[in-house]
Chain A
């Protein structure tokens, strides 16, 4: 708890240059959360996509996606394989830039900033929008250096003590501290799969991002490690905005507050999780969640 407070403080005190607007945004999110009961979609979204089309070469993968993502919530994206969930997720931190043939149209805003505007610094965007991948991908470095990687390249720590603290806080938040505190200097690749995935989550939160994107973070894990990570998401959403892609309907139902259903590159339906699962509007959603196709 104490550690969490520290990170909150860090977030709040505007450690990152150029993000001075952030504390107020966060405060807004919090106050909304206090209202709690049925906040309708008139809230200001943390991230907002409008008319997003994505092409891989000549092939269109996403068709005019309009999706709002709210702060301090877990938003789940579900849908059959190949429907474009990962593609959409990767639009949010511009990881699609890495793919030569990929082209994105439309508008995506985070905190009102157009992230595809030409003046935007991709490196800074990715500091604000972290990502956890389907397969755990720790760097072939020590556990400590895996966590310290982001803070080092962004110059977030002043001195060793500061860095030690970031490492400890991040690992604690990812629920890994007690398991690895004795062996921080062993290679991160030597951990078990579930531990590696939590290491990757710790790595993602080490730079105190505002949004964390998770692309099927549990698909390589056993039920116990999965439960661990779901608990973790539950805690993390207090401080972060989380978007998760998952193939498990149960998981989406358990961890998310809002759910979006993708089908063949279209966003068919989005809404509160209970509503999507109990009372879907669209026939395709109905079919998918009852397991009739996909």
Chain B
């Protein structure tokens, strides 16, 4: 394999040289001026040599298992005749594993051994055929491209087109992935809503997704009311924002307006390091330091508090979010034109009057955008909440009790063994979908606000 890859790389590289020298030669012999630089001719030939062959390789690899499967399974008709589609899949993957697997794994019976042997030999043949086709396509295309080179040939435009196509493809991959994820969320959610009515999910006040894993197991029916989860999410996000918004904003004002250059150079990166701390670390901090402290303080004040609380999680999450707000707000405050500051100072305003009455109002849309982005970050945060706020789906607004959030429930639902089409598992997709819409909405609003703000000064 490594040999083939090296050969291919060499081939592509030499095709570049071939294209280049061919272009020079054709220009020299005909005395015409080249339309494109020799480099472009080289790229052109190299692209032809590389891309079609690679595409065929990909196609081959994608289709190979399909053909192999039908051929191999046909060698053992006596076994496969009565099997369902699902059983066939299992059988084929067993064959594959045994064929690719270590020595010493012997098949249980004769027909399986036969299938495995046929699989092995087919696979080897396919492999050689693939390499043969791959390299011949490579060489053929190279020759074709080489034949097209002439002084008037517009290799520059051809390369440009190929580059465009490549860029387009890259963005297409990103977009298709997003669409794919959203679609899978939607389809699985639809399956969930066939089991649990939509209204029960959206308005139900009880969340306990324990359903029977096996038919003979005794278990409660399971309740899928998402309200406690969303209330928990909102409660924690709210606490977090109460911490992060003022602190972040004031930090931004200080950095943008008051701090000396030297302070700024030191302080800003430090603040941004906060954003780089893994959330698990914040999680420890929340669970081991802040949560006990919150509990002790509350008890000292005569309030009942559980050892895991929304308050602890919210406080730590707020700290985590500070850099988002401060860094974005700092940018928008800096984007407020100096001429507005000058205008205000020239009216005899002091610095703090200028900040309060001119700079912050002018930067407000951008600051709101920053806050909304931070909220969507807070809503999506999982680790801190898992560690510090608990798993109990309490419907409460008391910050001292333990609550849970949407993301935490998704994690707990999907961790461990699950039947894939049970209501419990599917509910994770429904939760994910709702969460997705909420954060999407927040992001869209935030980005619109930020954009509108940008237009104003451009």
Residues on A facing B (Cβ under 8 Å) = 93, 95, 98, 123-127, 130-131, 133, 135, 137-141, 149-150, 153-154, 189, 200, 203-204, 207
B457 (CB) vs chain A CBs: closest residue: A140
Which residues of the partner chain B approach A93 to less than 8 Å between Cβ atoms? 346
- Asked if B421 is an interface residue, CB under 8 A from chain A, the answer is no
A-B contact count (CB 8 A): 65
Residues A133 and B456 in contact, CB atoms below 8 Å apart:
no
Q: How far is the CB of A124 from chain B (nearest CB, A)?
A: 7
Interface size on B, residues (CB 8 A): 19
Question: How far is the CB of B334 from the nearest CB of chain A, in Å?
Answer: 15
What residue in chain B is nearest A149 (Cβ atoms)? B347
Contact call A203/B340, Cβ cutoff below 8 A: no
Contact A207 B339, beta carbon cutoff 8 Å: no
User: With contacts A139-B362, A140-B456 known, is A95 near B339, CB below 8 A?
Assistant: no
Known: A140-B361, A141-B361, A149-B357. A126 touches B347 (CB 8 A): yes
Say yes or no: is B203 at the interface (Cβ < 8 Å to chain A): no
Among A123, A125, A137, contact of B343 (Cβ-Cβ < 8 Å): A137
Q: Which of B337, B347, B353 is packed against the most chain A CB atoms within 10 Å?
A: B347
Of B345, B350, B357, chain A has the most CB atoms within 10 Å of the CB of B345
A133-B339 contact in complex given A139-B362, A141-B361, A153-B357, C-beta closer than 8 Å? yes
With A139-B358, A140-B456, A153-B353 as known contacts, state yes or no: A207 contacts B348, CB within 8 Å.
yes
4 extra A-B contacts, CB within 8 A, seeds A126-B348, A127-B347: A126-B346, A141-B361, A149-B349, A204-B346
The reply to whether B342 and A153 contact each other, CB–CB distance below 8 Å, is: no
Footprint of A on B, CB under 8 Å? 337, 339-350, 353, 357-358, 361-362, 456
**Residue numbers in B under 8 Å from A140 (CB-CB):** 340, 361-362, 456
Contacts of A149 in B (CB 8 A): 344, 347, 349, 357
Contact between B343 and A139 (Cβ–Cβ < 8 Å)?
yes
Residue of B nearest to A121 (CB): B348
Most chain A C-beta atoms within 10 Å of own C-beta, residue among B342, B346, B349, B361: B346
Cβ-neighbour of A123 out of B348, B357, B361 (below 8 A): B348
Q: In the complex, what's the smallest C-beta–C-beta distance from B369 to chain A, in angstroms?
A: 16
Asked whether, in the complex, the Cβ of A200 is within 8 Å of the Cβ of B353, the reply is no
Q: Which residues on the B side are within 8 Å of A95 (C-beta)? A: 342, 345-346
Is there contact, CB below 8 Å, between B348 and A131? no
Per the bound structure, the CA–CA distance linking A139 and B345 in Å amounts to: 12
- Tell me which residues across on chain B come within 8 A of A138, comparing CB atoms: 343
For B362, give the chain A residue with the smallest CB separation: A140
Choose one: A133, A150, A189, A200; the contact of B348 (CB below 8 Å).
A150
How many Å from the CB of A23 to the closest CB on chain B? 20
CB-CB under 8 A from B343, the residues of chain A are 133, 137-139, 200, 203
Q: Cα distance A189–B347 when bound, in Å?
A: 18
Whether A123 lies near B349 (C-beta < 8 A) is yes
In the complex, chain A residues whose CB is within 8 Å of the CB of B362: 139-140
Q: Which residue of B lies closest to A93 (CB)?
A: B346
Q: Is the CB of A130 within 8 A of B456?
A: no
Distance in Å: Cβ of A60 to nearest Cβ of chain B: 23
Report Cα–Cα, A130/B341, bound state, in Å: 14
Give the residue name and chain of the A residue nearest to B358 (CB): A139
Please give, as numbers and ranges, the residues of chain A lying within 8 Å of B341 by CB-CB distance.
98
Bound complex: CA A133 to CA B339 (Å): 8
